Amino acid sequence: MQPPPEPAKAYLEHGHFSLSSPDGQTQFDVRFEHANKNGDSYDLDQGTLRFANGGETQLSLSITDANYNVTNGVVYVVGSMEGKLASTGHHFSARRLSWNEASNAVTAEAVHYSGDRIDVQGQTMRVQLPAGVVEFSGPITATVAGGKT
């Protein structure tokens, strides 16, 4: 017996989506207060995104007025996002984010990244999980403040 088909449209409250990388090492969780499902896409008014490895958070984001969907093994989120990279404690904001399950890489677009002595505005930021390696590409503007030696 086959399960009933998913509805094309739905309203969800206090929901949770969870995905894992193919090797099972990285877990991706989306939690939200309210969502409107329209086909394979979900409009989320507010919520959180979390990438974890072995239960330890690597990357966390708060989202507002976002759209979430998964297409061919790639998660896409478009909206207002504020995030934190756990390994450095640096913060960033972005307008678009994608996670490729196969390569286990998070790509953020229209990024503003800041830390203790660094401020970067760029077209694209890529975070390779689980290593947490951050790369910037596209037109970027960076400021690095000098410190005491």
Which of 72, 93, 74, 71 shows the shortest CA–CA distance to 84?
93
- Res. 38: pLDDT tops 80: yes
Mean pLDDT, range 115-130, rounded to an integer = 92
Please report the pLDDT score of residue 149 as a whole number: 40
Query: pLDDT (tens digit, 9 = 90+) per residue, 41-61?
Result: 999 999 999 999 988 999 999
In a domain, 83, yes or no: yes
Q: What count of other Cβ atoms lies within 10 Å of the Cβ of residue 40?
A: 11
- The total of structural domains in the chain comes to 1
* Structure tokens, 3: 């399960």
> CATH number, domain at 47?
2.60.450.10
Q: Give the residue numbers spanning the domain of 83.
A: 9-143
In a domain, 149, yes or no: no
Please report the pLDDT score of residue 145 as a whole number: 87
Percent above pLDDT 90 for the chain? 81
In a domain, 65, yes or no: yes
Query: pLDDT (tens digit, 9 = 90+) per residue, 75-111?
Result: 999 999 999 999 889 999 999 999 999 999 999 999 9
In a domain, 48, yes or no: yes
- Integer Cα distance of 34 and 32 in angstroms: 6
